Amino acid sequence: MDRLWSPWRFNYVSKAETSRGCLFCDKPAEQDDRKNLIVYRASRTFVILNLFPYTAGHLMIAPYAHIATLQDASDEIATEMIRLARLTEKHLRTVYKPEGLNMGINLGECAGAGVAGHLHMHVVPRWCGDANFMTTVGETRVLPEDIKVTFEKLAGAFRGD
């Protein structure tokens, strides 16, 4: 049996806290963006790193308002989410130079939403050859950098705007 050894990853996943409320409501309300991995705030929406990313730079865009679906979003929220998706694409391309990106919204638990009650969009940088069976077979994701390093890189890019 082959073994993939990444002892730093244990510290990363073992310190994750189970949220009693809604993480997309609770984290921005705390006003501690570094601790909560919020890389950018706009007036109606914000950009936050995924604590359990598929790849380095996996971001999510969410409204401050606790709404479950895109149809529940005001035109202003929906427009700002797309504006932030464009800005997020720009910064991910600059910082990580991905060959492509996945952007998507999972509406409802059966559609894959991990937080089904609060609308959010995933933005995932991708590279040719990054798809493998580790996630499916080994229930493991291989990340090349610590999430705090990812936060500093992307928060710095957003501050530059």
Kindly state the average pLDDT of the residues 84-93: 98
List active site positions.
120
The DSSP annotation for 89-137 comes to HHHHHHHH--SEEEEE---SGGGT-SSTTS--EEEEEE-TT---SHHHH
Please report the domains of the chain, with CATH numbers, ordered by start residue.
Answer: 21-159 (3.30.428.10)
Measured in degrees and rounded to the nearest 5, phi and psi for residue 60 equal -130, 145
Confidence at residue 20, expressed as pLDDT on a 0 to 100 scale: 72
- pLDDT band per the 50, 70, 90 thresholds, residue 143: low
Confidence at residue 92, expressed as pLDDT on a 0 to 100 scale: 98
Confidence at residue 134, expressed as pLDDT on a 0 to 100 scale: 43
What percentage of the chain reaches a pLDDT higher than 70?
A: 79
Kindly state the average pLDDT of the residues 30-43: 97
Q: Tens of pLDDT along 92-142?
A: 999 999 999 999 999 888 888 888 899 999 999 999 877 644 444 445 555
Kindly state the average pLDDT of the residues 70-90: 98
